[in-house]
Amino acid sequence: MSEIKTACPLDCYDGCEIVYESGIKPLKNGHTQGFLCPHLHHYESFKRIEKPSYKGEEISLEKALEILKDIIEQTPKHQLLHYRSHGNFGLMQEVMDHFFASNDNILTNGNLCDGAGEAGIIEGRGSNKNMPLSQIAKSDVVIFWGRNPHVTSSHILPLIKGKKMIVIDPVRTKIAKMADLHVQLKPHSDLYFAMLLTRFLHIEGACDEAFMQEYASEFEDYYELTQGIRIKATLDMMGLSLGDIGDVLELVKDQKVAIVCGVGVQKYRDGADVMRAIDAFAVALGLFGKEGCGVAYLGNSKEAITSPFHTKAKRVSKIDTKFDEFETVFIQGANPLAQMPDTNRVLDSMEHTQNVIYFGLWENETSQRADLVIPAKTFLEKDDIRTSYAHNALMAMPQQKQSEIGISEYDLARYLCDAFGVELQSQEEYLQHFKNFGVQKIDGSFMVEHREEVPYREGFDTDDGEFIFLEELEVMHPLEEGYLHLITSKSPKSLNSQFHREKNLHINASHGFSEGDLVEVSSEHGSVALHVTIDENLRDDCVLIYSGTEGVNKLTSSKHSYEGKNAIYQDVLVQIKLL
């Protein structure tokens, strides 16, 4: 691999490649196409934590490492929790899991992000193999379903120029304004919408019968389930009409369709069922195993890669983590005090943790609560390698510059492994382990070997190769009087809580508030005071508070999704009053 190229480290679909020549520059060719988003453009101008600190006092890195070692030594092994998220998406980040797992400490499981949708996909198809960007480029029609590409995955945009476009989103996003059709449905009604689309596709005799005979022979039972939906009442609740269904079907029949889903559809307890119903619609259209067709979601970024790190450990959920059950919590690449659901609960339980250690780049709610703060090195200052959840590239991330600040994950793991007698190979060996999963293409780029360009060509990965449909359906309930749906999606200014964070809540003018009003938003979990931005792109029954806005997660629930052990940020109703 080239030694000058590296890749953006952020948790983002696009996994851009860059060159570092007097600053961060996008790679002109390949999936990066010569442009980056604002986060990376300004990456080096954000003020980072430069010095370690203990109980608020600046200390040297040597001292910080000594304190860390003492704390780990003094903490009973099962009283120490390693809580890691994806502030940096590099594969070497897991080297810290290796230390803590080998040291018999506790790690986490569960998912704050895409786990519910993934669970639904796996239930239906037997695996989560993604439709890569290169295939989306070959489609005729693209449906953006709970995905906001201008904000979260802008490198898809050049690929879809000239295609027919449908957007299914409760918010009139930029892509919705450009689309041939925008279905501005009520939040959390996608399950019913997908089922009604499937039902009418069948009624119109437009299903791909040959495909279903081979790979979805239980379709009749599923069709019966869709008949349990009361059409008029359900469409009324969604704020839609039969015309919306007809319009979608008109655009997709007999076309190569790419359904591009995001996490927006599955931030609910039944998020798995929603993705499975969307998949079922794709099955009825016969979209799997064919060029330019399929469902793109967040694929498994580690598909066809095995970990060289020891990661077998006792684990607790990262959604409703009881921090107070631990004497020491080591937080890496995460800002749980902003990004976990139910912030009041998180605060309360972290207050009772004796030692909170924060290993990260920026000051935030979690660094402020931490007893010991250890600055990390940025991706430019250490070696790593990464993959993406939207395409199949394997990208080396060699170090680009020296810095006196911070310590890399590998060097910290090295220090701890030496101190506690844990085996660790050289960094080069681990990087080589990952590189070995790559295969070089004619243009010089590396792809993960054994990932299929067009997955499911030979049927699904279930026992008999057939798609497994949903068998049960919960009835949809109308919104209770006086309540609004919370939409909490991604902001163009921040990457979750990194970079420029949003401050306001968004609501349309029908509620009688004015621009700049200070209001209190509350749910059964807590409340937060925010200023109003009037936003005519929202429905009357929604309030939008972006991810990363301070206090937004005081409103959210720490319950798990029914399947997939995922957070359910939007399964909450809120009320608003003027302060």
Ligand X SMILES: Nc1nc2c(c(=O)[nH]1)N[C@H]1C(S)=C(S)[C@@H](COP(=O)(O)OP(=O)(O)OC[C@H]3O[C@@H](n4cnc5c(=O)[nH]c(N)nc54)[C@H](O)[C@@H]3O)O[C@H]1N2
**Which residues sit at the interface with ligand X, rule CB under 6 A?**
11-12, 85-88, 112-114, 145-148, 151-152, 168-171, 173, 187-188, 190, 262-265, 332-335, 339, 359-362, 364, 376, 379, 487-492, 494-498, 547, 552-553, 556, 569-570
Q: Does 10 bind ligand SF4 (CB under 6 A)?
A: yes
Backbone angles phi, psi at 143, to 5 degrees: -110, 115
Measured from the CB of residue 114, what is the shortest distance to Mo ion in angstroms?
Answer: 6
Joined together, the tokens standing for residue 546 give: 């972006």
Measured from the CB of residue 224, what is the shortest distance to ligand SF4 in angstroms?
Answer: 43
Between 11 and 97, CB nearer to ligand SF4: 11
Measured from the CB of residue 36, what is the shortest distance to ligand SF4 in angstroms?
Answer: 4
Given ligand SF4, Mo ion, ligand X, none, residue 173, with its beta carbon under 5 to 8 Å by kind, binds: ligand X
Backbone angles phi, psi at 559, to 5 degrees: -70, 160
Measured from the CB of residue 334, what is the shortest distance to ligand X in angstroms?
Answer: 4
Measured from the CB of residue 37, what is the shortest distance to ligand SF4 in angstroms?
Answer: 3
Residues 6+ apart with CB under 8 A from 409: 92, 93, 95, 96, 332, 376, 382
Measured from the CB of residue 164, what is the shortest distance to ligand SF4 in angstroms?
Answer: 25
DSSP class of residue 138 equals T
Given ligand X, Mo ion, ligand SF4, none, residue 492, with its beta carbon under 5 to 8 Å by kind, binds: ligand X
Cα separation, 217 vs 235, in Å, equals 28
Given ligand X, ligand SF4, Mo ion, none, residue 36, with its beta carbon under 5 to 8 Å by kind, binds: ligand SF4
Task: Map the footprint of Mo ion across residues 428-447, applying CB under 5 A.
Answer: none
Kindly tell me which residue out of 5, 6, 14, 468 binds ligand SF4, with binding defined by CB under 6 A.
Answer: 14
Kindly tell me which residue out of 40, 277, 346, 454 binds ligand SF4, with binding defined by CB under 6 A.
Answer: 40
Kindly tell me which residue out of 37, 141, 278, 574 binds ligand SF4, with binding defined by CB under 6 A.
Answer: 37
Q: Does 263 bind ligand SF4 (CB under 6 A)?
A: no
DSSP class of residue 323 equals G
Between 377 and 490, CB nearer to ligand SF4: 490
Q: Across the strands, what pairs with 164?
A: 141
DSSP class of residue 186 equals P
Q: 203-217: buried (b, 16+ CB within 10 Å) or exposed (e) per residue?
A: eeebbbeebbeebbe
Q: Does 373 bind Mo ion (CB under 5 A)?
A: no
* Residue 329, CA distances (Å) to 97, 104, 188, 559 in order: 13, 14, 35, 21
Task: Map the footprint of ligand SF4 across residues 143-182, applying CB under 6 A.
Answer: 154
Gyration radius from the chain CA atoms: 24
Q: Which residues of 376-423 form beta strands (DSSP E)?
A: 384-386, 395-397
**CA-wise closest residue to 274 among 265, 287, 282:** 265
Strand order in the sheet with 328-332: 57-58, 53-54, 372-375, 355-360, 328-332, 80-84
Q: Determine which helix (DSSP H) or strand (DSSP E) holds 365, and give its type and residue range.
A: helix 365-369
Find the part of the chain contacting Mo ion (CB under 5 A) among 77-85, 107-115, 166-174, 455-463: 107-115
Residues 6+ apart with CB under 8 A from 57: none
DSSP 48-71: ---S-EETTEE--HHHHHHHHHHH
Between 8 and 159, CB nearer to ligand SF4: 8
Measured from the CB of residue 6, what is the shortest distance to ligand SF4 in angstroms?
Answer: 11
Find the part of the chain contacting ligand SF4 (CB under 6 A) among 4-12, 251-259, 338-346, 557-565: 4-12
Cα separation, 11 vs 15, in Å, equals 8
State the pairing for strand pair 446-448/494-495: unpaired
DSSP class of residue 507 equals E
Find the part of the chain contacting ligand SF4 (CB under 6 A) among 5-13, 268-276, 330-338, 410-418: 5-13
Residues binding ligand SF4: what is the number (CB under 6 A)? 11
Kindly tell me which residue out of 16, 122, 275, 394 binds ligand SF4, with binding defined by CB under 6 A.
Answer: 16
DSSP class of residue 548 equals T
Kindly tell me which residue out of 27, 49, 113, 280 binds Mo ion, with binding defined by CB under 5 A.
Answer: 113
Given ligand SF4, Mo ion, ligand X, none, residue 467, with its beta carbon under 5 to 8 Å by kind, binds: none
Query: Interface with ligand SF4 by CB under 6 A: which residues?
Result: 8, 10, 12, 14-16, 36-37, 39-40, 154
